[in-house]
Amino acid sequence: MVVTRGQDAEKIIAAHGAGGSIFLVHGADHGLIDERVREIIKHSVDHPEDPFQAVRLNGDDIAGDPGVLLDEWNAIGMFHARRVIRIDAGGKDFGDAIRLCLESPNPTTTIAIRAATLRKDSQVRQVCERHKLAFAIECEADTETDIGKFAADQIAAAGLEIDPLALEHLTTALGIDRRMSRGEVEKLILYMGDQPRIELKDVEAIVADAAPRLGEPAIAAAMMGNLQLATTEGVRALASVDPSAMLGTCLRGLLQTHRALVDIESGNGRSYAVERATRSAGALRGFMPDILNRASSAAALQSITVVQDAISRARREPAMDEATSLRTLWGVAFRMKRR
C-alpha cells in the first residue's frame, strides 16, 4: 500500500514493524528517509547494532542475484528470532527479488528498503505499492506547515517555549531536509541553556539558513511579474535544482507574501508587515520589499492555486516536472504582474 503522510507512516511502522512486512522508504527528503528507516529497524529488532539481527544488503547485488535476498529472508536467527534486512537501493531494479519474498511470507523478518525518488514505473515501487504485506512510504520535502510543526514539537519536547514570530523565522530558515532541520533545532535548544523561552533574537543569533538555494532568483522574478527574467533564471536553476523542491520554495514564498499583503491592504501597518515578511522570507528576504510593492493579495492567492496545482501535477507526472516548473513560473509571473 502507499503511505505518504507522516502521521500515517508512523502508525504503519509501529503497527507492522515487528516482522513479516516489507517497507520501501523513498523520496526527496534524504534526512527523513534515514529517520524512517531507523524507526523501522528499531521496531523490528531489540538490538539494531547486532549484525545477527540487522543485516545490510546492496540493491544492485540483489538485482544481479535475487537468491541473495531470498536466502536472508528465509534464514533463521541464531540467537534471536526477529531479524531485519536493510537494503540500500542503487541504480538497478530488484523488484523480482522483493516479489519472491512476498510470495513466501516470513513473520519474523522485516525488510527496510532505502531509496531516493523512484519513478512510478519502478518495479520495486510497484510491487510494494500493490501488495498487502508491503508499504511504500514516500518522504516528500517538508512543507512550511511540516517544518513548523516539527520545530515546535522538538522545542516543546525539550521543555522550552518559543515566541510565535521566532517560530515563524525559524520555520523559514530551516531546510527541506529533515536531518539538517533537526540539527539546527538541536543547536538552538543547546544554545538556550537554562533560558525557558526562545525569542527572535535567539533564532537570529544561532540558526544558520539551512534552506538550500532552490532557484530563488527565478522565483523572485516570477513573483515580481518579470516573465523574461523568470524564464532566464528558471532555465538556469533547473540545470541543478530539483523542480519539485523549487515549486515548494515558491509556494512558501507566495504564502508569506499573501499574508503580508492581506495585512497591508487591511490597513494594519505597511512598514511592520513588510519588515515581518522580509525577516521571515529566508533566501527571498532580499526580494521581498520589491515583491510587496508590486503585487496584490488577490494576485498572490491566484498564484498560490497555480503552484499547488503544479505540485500535484508534478507528483502525478514526474517525467514532466521540469516543464511543469517552468510553466508554473510563467503562470505566477503573469498573475503577479496584474494589479
Domain of 33, CATH number, reads 3.40.50.300
25 shares a domain with 90 = yes
| CA–CA separation, 59 and 112 (whole Å) | 11
Same domain, 220 and 330: yes
Q: What is the pLDDT of residue 93?
A: 92
Q: Distance between CA atoms of 328 and 250, rounded to whole angstroms? A: 10
Contacts of 257 (CB under 8 A, 6+ apart): 223, 277, 288, 291, 292, 295, 300
Average pLDDT across each block of 10 residues of the chain; the chain has 339 residues. List them in order. 72 87 87 90 91 92 93 81 92 93 93 88 93 90 79 95 90 73 90 93 76 77 91 87 83 85 80 76 77 87 90 78 90 84
Point out the domain boundary residue: 206, 232, 250: 206
Q: What is the pLDDT of residue 116?
A: 81
Residue 280 lies in a domain: yes
pLDDT of residue 79: 67
Q: Are residues 244 and 293 in the same domain?
A: yes
| Amino acid 311: pLDDT | 85
Q: Domain span at residue 328? A: 216-337
Measured between alpha carbons, how far is 286 from 217 in angstroms, rounded to an integer? 10
Counted domains in the chain: 3
What pLDDT, on the 0 to 100 scale, is given for residue 212? 54
298-333 per-position pLDDT tens digit: 899 999 999 988 888 877 777 777 888 999 999 999
Q: Are residues 231 and 295 in the same domain?
A: yes
**Residues with Cβ < 8 Å from 39, sequence gap 6 or more?**
10, 13, 17
pLDDT at residue 97, as a whole number: 96
Among 118, 139, 160, residue at a domain's last position: 139
pLDDT computed for residue 91 by the predictor: 83
User: Looking at the domain assignment, is residue 130 inside a domain?
Assistant: yes
211 inside domain = no
Which residues are CB-neighbours of 9 under 8 A, at least 6 positions away? 3, 36, 137
| pLDDT recorded at residue 267 | 76
What does pTM read for this prediction? 0.58
The CATH number that applies at residue 250 is 1.20.272
Same domain? 26 vs 119: yes
